[in-house]
Amino acid sequence: MYFELGFRHIADLAGYDHILFVAALAIPFGVGDWRRLAFLVTAFTLGHSLTLALATLRLVSVPSQLVETLIPVTILFTALDTYTSATPQRPENPITLRSYGVALLFGLIHGLGLSTYLRALLGSEESIAGALLAFNVGLEIGQLVILSIVLAVGAALVPAILQRRRWVQLSVGVTGGFALMLLVQRLGAWS
C-alpha cells in the first residue's frame, strides 16, 4: 500500500511539482549520464525521506503554507541554474558535489510538504519504519521512471530535431514557467 502511495505521489499529474523538479534536474543530461543522475535523484529522495520521517514523528514542524511556497522556489532555482549553466561549449549541466547538496536540501523541503498528509495516513500504524521505507522506495522508483522518460524524450529530440543547448533552454524554460505560475498561485494564498 505505502509503496504504491509513494509511487503515485511522485507520478501524479495533479501534484506535478515533483515531476517538474525531477525534470528540471534531468533535462540537461543524456542517456549516458543515467547512473550519475540516478544518484543525484537519490540525494533528493534521501532529503525527502529524512524530513518525512522527522515530521511524521513530530520532531520537526514547519508551517505548511511556507513549505508549499518554497517548493516552487526550489523548482524555479533548479530550472534557472540549469538554464544559465547551458553554454555552447557545454550544454549539459555537470553534476558536482554542490549538485548533490542542493538536491538533498531541496528534498528536505519537498519532504516537509507531504509530511502532514503522510502523518495522517501513518497515524494508525504501530511501526512507521516499514511504512516510511515502502513509501520512499515507491517515491524513488517513480522518480526513476520520470527520469527515464525525460532522458528518452531528450534522446529522441537531440540532435534529430533540436541541438542539445536549445533542448535544455526550451525545456527548462517551460519547467521554470510552470514553477513560476505555481509560485504566484501559492503566494496568492498568503493573502
In angstroms, the Cα distances linking 50 to 13, 44, 176 are: 24, 10, 26
pLDDT for res 124: 61
Q: Taking residues 77-95, what's their average pLDDT?
A: 71
CA distance 109 to 102: 11
pLDDT band for position 120 (cuts 50, 70, 90): confident
The answer on pLDDT for 126 being more than 80 is: no
The answer on pLDDT for 105 being more than 90 is: yes
Q: Taking residues 169-182, what's their average pLDDT?
A: 94
| Contact (Cβ atoms closer than 8 angstroms) between residue 3 and residue 137 | yes
pLDDT band for position 94 (cuts 50, 70, 90): low
Helix/strand/coil for 61: coil
CA distance 186 to 180: 10
pLDDT for res 158: 83
In angstroms, the Cα distances linking 162 to 106, 155, 156, 167, 169 are: 30, 10, 10, 6, 11
CB atoms closer than 10 angstroms to residue 121: 17
DSSP characters for 71-89?
HHHHHHHHHHHHHHH--SS
The answer on pLDDT for 156 being more than 60 is: yes
Average pLDDT across the chain, whole number: 86
For residue 130, give the C-alpha cell: 516499514
Choice between 92 and 69, residue whose per-residue pLDDT is larger: 69
pLDDT for res 89: 52
Condensed to tens digits (0 to 9), the pLDDT of residues 13-31 reads 887 888 999 999 888 888 8
Share of the chain above pLDDT 90, in %: 39
